Amino acid sequence: MTFQPHEPFDERGRSPAHQLYEEARRRLDAGLISEATELFLRSADASPHFKTYELLGECYMRQKLYMQAIPYLAAATTLNRGVRAPSLLAETCLEVGKLDWAKEASKIALARDANNKSAKAMKEKLNSISVD
């Protein structure tokens, strides 16, 4: 099922990149991860955006393609001050055995929001691994 955006803008004034992004979100929400991945890639090619990168990283994580997720999550972490991207990055790095990278991403997440539950849980998990 190929999605074709309206050029140059749709009836709601959304750019082709935004149309691709929104269709990718719908497919992600429907559990169509592979289709969502392809649409997020097309959206990112047309107009790079932190949220596109973050969700693209999440798609790769859900497919257990962790090494492919890392650059997108790192880019999202750099382009936005939110806590979700570095939290996902820490989780992904841990999955591939990059403990130092996971610790750094976890520090970034906690620096952005010291009370974030998932970031705190990741720090505890990393600390327990370091002690073992």
**What DSSP designation does 78 have?**
H
CB 110 within 8 A of CB 119: yes
Low-confidence ranges of the chain (pLDDT < 70): 1, 130-132
- Per-residue model confidence as pLDDT tens digits over 40-75: 999 999 999 999 999 999 999 999 999 999 999 999
* Cβ neighbours of residue 40 closer than 8 Å, sequence gap 6 or more: 20, 21, 24, 52, 55, 56, 59
The superfamily (CATH) of domain 16-131 is Tetratricopeptide repeat domain (1.25.40.10)
Domain spans of the chain, in order of start:
16-131
In this prediction, residue 131 carries a pLDDT of: 58
